[in-house]
Amino acid sequence: MSPRFVQLTPPGRGAVATVLVEGPGASRVVEAYFRTKSGCPLSDYAADRIVLGRFGPTPGEQVVVHRRSDESVELHCHGGRAAIAMIENSLAKEGCRPTAWRNWVDSRHDDPITAAAHAALTEARTERTAAILLNQYHGALRRAMDEIERSIRNAKPQEAEKQIRELLGRVNVGLHLTRPWQVVLCGRPNVGKSSLINALAGYQRAIVHPTPGTTRDVVLVHTAVDGWPVELSDTAGLHAGSDTFHRASIELTERKLAKADLIVLVFDRSTLWSKDDYALLQSWPGAVVVHNKSDLPGASGAPKPGIATSALLGHGIEELTAAIADGLVPDPPPPGTAVPFTEEQVEWLHRVL
């Protein structure tokens, strides 16, 4: 069988790309195009030596070769598409088979769960999510699935059901390990939504403007809240009962709010409440409520429940962060527990249930 090659680094431009050539005769195939800097043939070098040289027709691409064994050779080249394409075309001419990265991952693991965890790990954005995926990579979910099968074989359907429901209870976390939660800040223009997004993300990103209604187009900010990957965005309030907003923009807001994993309703503590504000509060009872501009004197009226913040001074941001994290993941999985993390796994659990 001819060797295969696979690009181990993500597609697209990067500083350095790595192409792995694997299988019987891998080293020989690479030698056909690779000239070491020293002039000695690659096979003269001991395995695991790092060798600098050029690959392909003169002058050739500068590459660093890591021959792990005769059957496994890594080529580290410049990350531009042309460099990678030249190397891959040369390998293909020598009869090497191109292999998609995901297929390569799948072929390396006997257990599809391990393979899926391997692939998912490359998409984890935080240490917290990576740690959970790493537990699944090391067998947490496989052991839980095996236990379910054992319960069924031993004619203990109630036990199996309990085990399945426990796993399904962690699906919310599991499916977000590679896909960030959507958190939408909603409120009237000028209440400080963009300022709060900046304060939550810890850097200036959203456009903050002293003129009401500046944020029309949505700015997405990627950040982590308590180790959970989150996409923050904002939207204007609904202004129920008013016709100052076009129908279309109201629909857009409604769609956005309905899709959100968590809504943060933002009010300006220094201005009087309107009936729109009360309507908003009633429409989204599960939302986290924030009274911003706590550094300014409060408007008259009874204090309302919620978190007081000052995006300007950074007050209350920690409390808000904690409330968002708690709203998204009220019951974080303890370390080492099994967590289903792909749609296929969830489907399997539902089917068995």
Ligand X SMILES: Nc1nc2c(ncn2[C@@H]2O[C@H](COP(=O)(O)OP(=O)(O)O)[C@@H](O)[C@H]2O)c(=O)[nH]1
Question: Which CB atom, from 99 or from 235, has the smaller least distance to ligand X?
Answer: 235
Region of 31-39, 64-72, 207-215, 289-297 interacting with Mg ion (CB under 5 A): 207-215
Question: Which CB atom, from 159 or from 295, has the smaller least distance to ligand X?
Answer: 295
Region of 3-11, 107-115, 191-199, 319-327 interacting with ligand X (CB under 6 A): 191-199
- At 100, the amino acid letter reads A
Q: For residue 145, what are its two tokens?
A: 């699935």
Specify the 3-state DSSP secondary structure of 283. Answer: helix
Region of 89-97, 121-129, 166-174, 192-200 interacting with Mg ion (CB under 5 A): 192-200
User: Using N-to-C axis directions, what is the helix angle for 140-153 and 127-137, rounded to 10°?
Assistant: 50
Find the distance separating the first CA and the last CA of the chain, reported in whole Å: 43
Is 219 a residue that touches ligand X (CB under 6 A)?
A: no
Is 239 a residue that touches ligand X (CB under 6 A)?
A: no
Q: Check residue 19 and report its DSSP letter.
A: E
Residue 125 interacts with, from ligand X, Mg ion, none (CB under 5-8 Å by kind): none
Is 294 a residue that touches Mg ion (CB under 5 A)?
A: no
The CB-side HSE value for 125 (13 A sphere, CA atoms) comes to: 16
Q: Are 335 and 131 in contact (CB under 8 A)?
A: yes
Out of 208, 240, 250, 281, point to the residue binding ligand X (CB under 6 A).
208
Q: Which residue is nearest to ligand X (CB)?
A: 192
What string of DSSP letters covers 21-40? EESTTHHHHHHTTEEETTSS
Q: Which helix (H) or strand (E) holds 223?
A: strand 221-225
Question: Which CB atom, from 194 or from 345, has the smaller least distance to Mg ion?
Answer: 194
Is 310 a residue that touches ligand X (CB under 6 A)?
A: yes
Pair type for strands 228-236 and 221-225: antiparallel
Is 233 a residue that touches ligand X (CB under 6 A)?
A: no
Q: Are 269 and 296 in contact (CB under 8 A)?
A: yes
Out of 99, 114, 126, 215, point to the residue binding Mg ion (CB under 5 A).
215
Residue 346 interacts with, from Mg ion, ligand X, none (CB under 5-8 Å by kind): none
List contacts with ligand X (CB under 6 A).
187, 189-195, 208-210, 214-215, 292-293, 295-296, 310-312
